[in-house]
Each structure stands twice: as C-alpha cells, then as structure tokens.
Amino acid sequence: MFDLKTRDIKYISGVGPQKASVLNKELEIFSLHDLIYYFPYKYVDRSHIYSIREIDGNMPYIQLKGTIIGFETIGEGRQRRLIAHFTDGSGVIDLIWFQGVKYILGKYKLHEEYVIFGKPSVFNGRINVAHPDIDSPADLKLSSMGLQPYYNTTEKMKRSFLNSHAIEKMMASVVEQIQDPLPETLSPKVLSEHHLMPLTEALRNIHFPANPDILRRAQYRLKFEELFYLQLNILRYAKDRQRRYRGYIFEKVGDVFNNFYSRNLPFELTGAQKRVLKEIRNDVGSGRQMNRLLQGDVGSGKTLVALMSMLIALDNGYQACMMAPTEILANQHLETIKELLWGMDIRVELLTGSIKGKKREAILAGLLAGDVDILIGTHAVIEDTVTFSSLGFVVIDEQHRFGVAQRARLWVKNAQPPHMLVMTATPIPRTLAMTLYGDLDVSVIDELPPGRKPIETIHQFDNRRESLYRSVHKQLKEGRQVYIVYPLIKESEKIDLKNLEEGYQHTCEEFPECKVVKVHGKMKAAEKDAQMQLFVSGDAQIMVATTVIEVGVNVPNASVMIIENAERFGLSQLHQLRGRVGRGADQSYCILVTNYKLTDETRKRLEIMVRTNDGFEIAEADLKLRGPGDLEGTQQSGIAFDLKIADITRDGQLLQYVRAIAEKIVEHDPAAQSPENEILWKQLKSLRKTNVNWAAIS
C-alpha cells in the first residue's frame, strides 16, 4: 500500500507540475492525502438521463446523452464564444463556452457520443447550457448515474481548467488506486462501539456515494473523528496539566469572607451567583488547580462573585490579583471593589502602565512583603518585575482580550500556579465554549440582580430623526447621559455609512446645551482615557464613539444607546454595545438606526435584538447566522479549528456526544499508556504536529 501523505499530486493522471502548483497555492493541496481530505460541499443526483424533448429552461439540472453535430464561434477577442449544437435525436440544444475555446475545440469531436450535465437556460427561444460538464460514457465511472460531488474552486483554478469536475476526476483516479484498506485512525473499540464505517469506505463514499444513506454514514464517520480528536486534544491537555500541577487547598471560609457577607454585601445574591460561588469553593478546596470560565451578561454580578472568591484566598493566607484589558476598566474595578470592601482592613492596590516612580516601587514592595492583599491592574501585572509573596487566586476579566501566553505568564508568578478564574461578558454558546475553552470548567450566571429593568430595544429607520432627537432631549433634561456609536471614524469613498467626525459635529449642533465628547481607536490612549473620564464623571452628557466602548465603560447614569448603521454590526457586538446602558435603576433604551434597504439576514438580526435581552440566546443565533469564525467581529475572527467536514453550528449534538466518549477515555487512561488506545494517542500526536492551531485552542 502506497503512502497517501508522501505521494505528490503532480503524479496524478492529467495533473502535472503546472496544475499541481495552482493546487498548492490555492488550496494547500500537496499530497494525495491532502486531496482526498478535500471534501465536496454539495452533491447533485445524476441518476436520470433526460431526452431533449422533455426538458425546459426552468429545471435545476439536466443530463443528456448524445452527439455534437456542429461548432460555431461568435464574436472577437474577449467577446468570443463557442457554441456546440448537441442532439440526442429528439431535439437540439446549444452548449456554450465563453472561455477556453481553443481547448474545447481540440478536446471534443463531432459525432462522438458524450454525456453532458449542467444548468439549462433559455436565450432567443432556444435552450442552452453554459460550460456544461462533458464526458465520454467510458470515462463516467465512479460518479456516473449516482450522486455527483461538487468541490469549491477559486477563479485562478478555473483559469487553469481546475473546475469542480476536474477535481472530481482527480479524486476518482486517487480512489481507484486505493486497493488495500488505509491505516485506521480510530481504535477497533471506538469503531465497533459506535457503529462507525471503516476509514477507507468512508473516504470512498464521501466522494462517490452510491446512495444518500451511504453518504450520511460516511459523513457521520468523518465528522465523528474530526470532533472526537478536537475534544480529545483539549481534554488530554487539561489532564496533563492536572497531573503536572497541584492546586493550593483553600481549607476554610473564614472571618474575611464571613464579615463581608454579613456586613458589606449590598444585596442578596441571586441563585445563579450562589451556585457559581459553590462551584468555585469546591474547586479551590479540591487540591487541583482551578481553571474556570465564568460567563455572565453585563450587569449579572460577575465582579461580586470574583471578589468573594478572592476573599476566600485571603482567608487562607494568599494574595489575589485581578487583570483587566484597559486602564479605565481596571480603575472601575478598583473603585467598585474599594466601595464594596469599605470599612474592612484589606489593602487593595492598582498597578497600570501609567503608575511609575515611588508609587510603583511602594506597590511592588508591598506585594513582595505580603502587605498588599488584592492587586488590580492591566498587562502591567504580568511584567517580570512584579513579584508576589503568595499569589493564590487570579481573576482575568474579558478573557477574549488576552492571549494564551499572557494568561500563562500569571501562572509562573509562583512555583505552584494560582487558581484561575477567567470572566467574560460575551456569552459564548455551549458548543463553542466546549471547543474554545474546553480545558476550562464553565460556570454561567444566567439571571440579573433584582431591581434591574430590562433594556428596551427599538429598531428605527433613518428618516425618523426628529422623533429620535425629541426622545434624547427628554432623557437629557431628566439628567441622563447618552452614547451614540458609529461604524466609521471618517467618511469613506468605498462605503456610504454614517461616520463619527460628521456625527460629532451634527450632535454638537443638535444639542448645544450639552458637553459632547468623542472617543475612537485612532486616538492616543491618554487622550481617549481623558475623554472617557469626562463622561464617566458626568461632566459630559453625550459620548460619540466607535466600538472602542464595547467593553469597559460603566456609567450607571447612561440610559440611551444609539447605534448608527446598526446593520453593519454583528449580533454579539450589538449586544455588547447595548450592555453599556441599563446599569442603573432607570429605564434604558437602545435604538438601532438603519436605512430601509436591508437583507433578510440583517432583518433577522435586528428582530432578535428587539425581541430579547438574553445574551446566550443572542450568541446561539449569532453562531447560526455567522458561524464560529467571526463570532465576535474582529476580536475572534479566524478561530481556526481547521474543521474540514464538521460544523460546530450544526453538529452541536455530535460534539457533546464525542466529548463524553473522549472524557471517558482520558479518565480511564490518564497516562495515555493503554494498548487499546494506542491508535488514538498515536493519531492525536500526529494531528498536534500538523495542526498548529490546536496548540492555540488549548
């Protein structure tokens, strides 16, 4: 049996070095293994041959058997096209090519029998098929009279005559060469227990299925394997980490926690907050190092849970640290936590890049001496000069803003890694959380504290500005503050959208009695923070901004969020922006302003926003509408799982099923030494070598 991984595609019949080079560059297909794992995106039933007299121009596809009875070329230069008159004895249709005229004339002969397949249309009363698939009956082997595979191709490939039909022929050539079974990539136990098709059979039938039932079985086998190894990789990583690192044991909940609970707690915890605190307490008392993801919508009380968890660390003689992505967010955490701890003998310090000199030296000395109990900061806390006396608990806010490497640098602050709680206000659908953060246990705060009023969301067209501004004037007169968000900073020649600079001028003219500030990503950090601070302090009543305010501004007095060109934003981003209001006791509003011309998908997005404030429902809908690669716009775009056949949005049930199987295997074979799992560990090792992205997922 030859090795698919080492056999170069240029040796496939009809490919050669030139076409191989195009496949290398366009699809990263180098070997027969790469090719056979390039799966079709759809299948078309070719089980029926029509006669010309029974077809019409409205049919989705037609397949005919007959002969070419004449060629004619029309037009010159780029307008040149080739028409072949094709008959089966019951009538005549035209086959048309707009490019490759010389190639077609050299390849196909008059009066020889061919099978043609394509989409019909009508021009000047005659039925024609443009760029049909055309084969001699002898060439139609694997795909003839069954389900024909269709492969995605690029424009460069088409110019090199590498269309879907050409890929299909290459695939047929490779499949025919596979006489012996390929080395199996799943263990005999997994194959038999889950009734999976053998690998060779699955690969043959994913490309050339005899019928829909066999196709479904082949797809299931390959999806199962792909998702199974994705989960096995994450769980193996987590198990290895558990074996390598023991966690600090927090044996007691003592005076610090109890005094806070009885004297300082501002309101009764929600059921969800109590549940999550219990999960964290179980983790930190178990002897294993905690790695937990805490999800919760804006305003759900994540910070309070994080603080109470840090107090347990203090009760057990350890320090705690909270890391936030921006100085403004770090400052807000400091203010919130100091207010919550008022009257308690706990030293809380802030460390950011702008804190320098003697003040910084005093904080660093306090950390090393163990005098600082809780450190709050930005990336500055992971610098090498920052050394703790006994760091036992770390909170990372807005997890998706930090890279894996940054998270890991907090681990090495001690000989033994601290317990880790990562928080996000960006709700992550369960299936994606299992894949993105599969090495973390997941907690969810899914209810808001009592007394919070749901934000009212309104979709409004651009031509109703007067009524919109009347509502805003009313809110401002009542002492509230307003955000106005734009998709662009400046006017663009390429796209006709509202922009911040014009919006700022217009807002100043419309509301002359108010102080208006503007904030965008191109501003220097100090200038941006100064403008934000004017709004946070209440000195400015209106903030005109881009999406830089998506995370990290907490202004309870802000009650109106206006999002211009809301059709330009994804669901998760709209939900994050909406979360900037609704933080106080007053009724808050989010107004989504769009023009009239909207696609069906955009209308669906806006309808979901108007209907619900539930971040998890919105995240699930966003995943279905946009897919996992762009769940959070630019922040998470390109989450590359390199899935070739499985789809996290559609195969969520299968993902959960294979995770349970992978969990059982890792649990029963923690050292990865069981002979019955030898194939699995060998395949996982091979995948880790070839797929760089897997390291990033873990």
| Domain co-membership, 482 together with 584 | yes
pLDDT classification of 653: cutoffs 50, 70, 90 = confident
Residue 665 lies in a domain: no
| Domain co-membership, 537 together with 590 | yes
The predicted pLDDT at position 411 comes to: 59
More confident residue, 222 or 331: 222
| Domain co-membership, 412 together with 501 | no
Give me the phi and psi of 322, to 5 degrees please: -125, 130
Give me the phi and psi of 260, to 5 degrees please: -60, -45
Half-sphere exposure of 239 (CA within 13 A, CB side): 17
Element (H, E) at 609: helix 600-611
The residue whose two tokens read 């094709």 is 86
pLDDT surpassing 90 at residue 483: yes
pLDDT surpassing 70 at residue 436: no
Q: What residue spans of 245-270 are helical by DSSP H?
A: 255-259
| Domain co-membership, 488 together with 342 | no
Give dist(CA 414, CA 387) in Å, integer. 9
pLDDT classification of 191: cutoffs 50, 70, 90 = very high
pLDDT surpassing 80 at residue 240: no
What the block records as the tokens of 421 is 């709680």
CA 250, 256, 261, 264 torsion: positive or negative?
Answer: negative
Which amino acid type is present at position 550? Answer: E
Give dist(CA 439, CA 459) in Å, integer. 39
pLDDT surpassing 60 at residue 504: yes
Count Cβ atoms below 10 Å from residue 122 Cβ, excluding itself.
11
Mean pLDDT of 245-253: 87
Q: What percentage of residues in the chain have a pLDDT greater than 90?
A: 44
What the block records as the tokens of 2 is 């030859």
- Dump pLDDT digits (tens) for 49-60: 899 998 888 888
- Among 612, 633, 660, residue at a domain's last position: 612
* Mean pLDDT across the chain: 85
The predicted pLDDT at position 633 comes to: 27
Residue 319 lies in a domain: yes
Strand partners, 149: 43
Coil, helix or strand at residue 254: coil
The predicted pLDDT at position 328 comes to: 81
The predicted pLDDT at position 628 comes to: 55
What the block records as the tokens of 676 is 């019955």
CA distance between the termini of the chain = 35
Number of domains present in the structure of the chain: 4
| Domain co-membership, 466 together with 600 | yes
pLDDT classification of 637: cutoffs 50, 70, 90 = very low
Mean pLDDT of 36-58: 88
- Dump pLDDT digits (tens) for 537-558: 899 999 999 887 755 567 889 9
pLDDT classification of 630: cutoffs 50, 70, 90 = very low
Least confident span in 119-128, 175-184, 619-628: 619-628
| Domain co-membership, 417 together with 479 | no
pLDDT surpassing 90 at residue 511: yes
77 neighbors 101 (Cβ within 8 angstroms): no
pLDDT surpassing 60 at residue 494: no
pLDDT surpassing 60 at residue 167: yes
| Domain co-membership, 599 together with 583 | yes
pLDDT surpassing 90 at residue 671: no
Residue 232 lies in a domain: no
The predicted pLDDT at position 289 comes to: 87
Give dist(CA 554, CA 535) in Å, integer. 10
Give me the phi and psi of 37, to 5 degrees please: -95, 15
Q: Please tell me the pTM assigned to this model.
A: 0.66
pLDDT classification of 437: cutoffs 50, 70, 90 = low
pLDDT surpassing 70 at residue 396: yes
Give dist(CA 419, CA 314) in Å, integer. 13
Q: What percentage of residues in the chain have a pLDDT greater than 70?
A: 89
Closest-CA residue to 84 (of 98, 73, 94, 99): 94
Count Cβ atoms below 10 Å from residue 83 Cβ, excluding itself.
16
Instruction: Give the CATH number, domain containing residue 274.
Output: 3.40.50.300
Please, which contacts does 280-284 make with residues 24 or more away whose CB atoms are closer than 8 Å? 280/305, 280/309, 280/312, 280/421, 280/443, 281/250, 281/253, 281/312, 283/247, 283/419, 283/441, 284/247, 284/248, 284/249, 284/250, 284/309, 284/312, 284/313, 284/393, 284/419
Coil, helix or strand at residue 377: strand
- Among 445, 465, 497, residue at a domain's last position: 445
Residue 597 lies in a domain: yes
pLDDT classification of 401: cutoffs 50, 70, 90 = low
pLDDT surpassing 50 at residue 639: no
Output the DSSP codes for 389-423. Answer: SSEEEEEEESGGGS-HHHHHHHHTTSSSPPEEEEE
Give the structural domain span for 104. Answer: 46-150
Residue 260 lies in a domain: yes
- Dump pLDDT digits (tens) for 308-353: 999 999 999 999 999 988 888 888 899 999 999 999 999 999 999 8
The predicted pLDDT at position 234 comes to: 85
The predicted pLDDT at position 434 comes to: 67
| Domain co-membership, 171 together with 138 | no
Mean pLDDT of 57-80: 87
Closest-CA residue to 594 (of 693, 480, 458): 458
Least confident span in 407-416, 440-449, 536-545, 674-683: 407-416
The predicted pLDDT at position 635 comes to: 29
CA 626, 628, 633, 639 torsion: positive or negative?
Answer: negative
The residues near 149 (Cβ < 8 Å, ≥ 6 apart) are 40, 42, 43, 143, 164, 168, 171, 207, 208
Mean pLDDT of 494-499: 58
Give dist(CA 275, CA 270) in Å, integer. 9
pLDDT surpassing 60 at residue 638: no
pLDDT classification of 379: cutoffs 50, 70, 90 = confident
Give dist(CA 613, CA 427) in Å, integer. 12
| Domain co-membership, 301 together with 375 | yes
Q: What is the 3-state secondary structure (H, E, C) of 539-597?
A: CCCEEEECHHHHCCCCCCCEEEEEECCHHHCCHHHHHHHHCCCCCCCCCCEEEEEECCC
pLDDT surpassing 70 at residue 640: no
What the block records as the tokens of 493 is 């020649």
What the block records as the tokens of 274 is 């109590």
Residue 625 lies in a domain: no
Mean pLDDT of 11-29: 90
Q: What residue spans of 127-261 are helical by DSSP H?
A: 155-159, 164-177, 188-193, 199-207, 212-244, 255-259
More confident residue, 396 or 694: 396
The predicted pLDDT at position 493 comes to: 47
Which amino acid type is present at position 500? Answer: L
pLDDT surpassing 70 at residue 176: yes
Give dist(CA 272, CA 696) in Å, integer. 31
Coil, helix or strand at residue 360: helix
The residues near 532 (Cβ < 8 Å, ≥ 6 apart) are 328, 517, 519, 543, 549, 553
Give dist(CA 601, CA 473) in Å, integer. 33
pLDDT classification of 481: cutoffs 50, 70, 90 = very high
Residue 234 lies in a domain: no
Mean pLDDT of 369-386: 90
- Among 445, 473, 505, residue at a domain's last position: 445
Count Cβ atoms below 10 Å from residue 142 Cβ, excluding itself.
19
The predicted pLDDT at position 650 comes to: 79
pLDDT classification of 497: cutoffs 50, 70, 90 = low
Least confident span in 87-96, 163-172, 639-648: 639-648
pLDDT surpassing 60 at residue 262: yes
311 neighbors 254 (Cβ within 8 angstroms): no
The predicted pLDDT at position 100 comes to: 81
The residue whose two tokens read 């789809």 is 647
| Domain co-membership, 278 together with 386 | yes
Closest-CA residue to 394 (of 301, 294, 266): 294
Residue 578 lies in a domain: yes
| Domain co-membership, 436 together with 510 | no
250 neighbors 312 (Cβ within 8 angstroms): yes
The predicted pLDDT at position 569 comes to: 86
| Domain co-membership, 107 together with 6 | no
Coil, helix or strand at residue 454: coil
